[in-house]
Amino acid sequence: MIGNTAKKTGEALLELGRWPYDISRYLRLLYRRTLMPAFSRGTDFSAPDYQDRVARLLERYHPHRMALELIQVIDETASTKTFRFQRIDGPLPVFRPGQYVNLFLTVGAVRTSRPYSISSRPGADHLDLTVRLKPDGFVAPYLLSQAKVGDRFESTGPAGQFYWEPLIDREKLVFLAGGSGITPFMSIIRDQAVRGWEVDIHLLYGCRTPDDVIFGRELEELAKKTDRLRYDLVISDPSDGYQGLAGFLDGDLLQRQLGTLDDRTFLVCGPNQMYELCLAELARLGVEPHRIRREAYGPPEEVTQQPGWPADLSPDTACSVEVEDHPPFQARAGEPLLAALERQGIVVPALCRSGGCSACRIKILAGKVFMPPTAGVRESDLNHGYVHACVAYPLEDLKIRL
- Is the pLDDT assigned to residue 359 strictly greater than 50? yes
Which domains occur in the chain, in start order? 61-156 (2.40.30.10), 172-294 (3.40.50.80), 303-401 (3.10.20.30)
Q: Is 318 left (phi over 0), alpha (psi -120 to 50) or beta?
A: beta
Is residue 324 very low, low, confident or very high in pLDDT (cuts 50, 70, 90)? confident
pLDDT at 71 over 70: yes
**What is residue 6's predicted lDDT score, i.e. its pLDDT?**
52
H or E element in which residue 173 lies: strand 172-178
Closest alpha carbon to 143 in 185, 87, 103, 102: 103
What pTM does this model have? 0.84
> pLDDT tens across 365-382, in order?
999 999 988 888 888 888
With a cut of 50, say whether residue 211 has pLDDT above it: yes
So what's the pLDDT on residue 240? 81
Q: For residue 53, which amino acid is it?
A: R
Task: Say how far apart CA 33 and CA 131 lie, in whole Å.
Answer: 52
Q: What is the pLDDT of residues 88-119, one digit of tens each?
A: 999 999 999 999 999 999 999 899 999 999 99
Q: Decide if pLDDT at 25 tops 70.
A: no
The stretches of 229-373 forming alpha helices (DSSP H) are 251-258, 272-284, 337-343
What are 221-250's pLDDT values in tens digits? Answer: 999 999 999 999 999 999 888 889 999 999
Task: Mention every residue, 6+ apart, whose C-beta is less than 8 A from residue 223.
Answer: 229, 230, 231
pLDDT for res 358:
87
Alpha-carbon 285 to chain mean position: 25
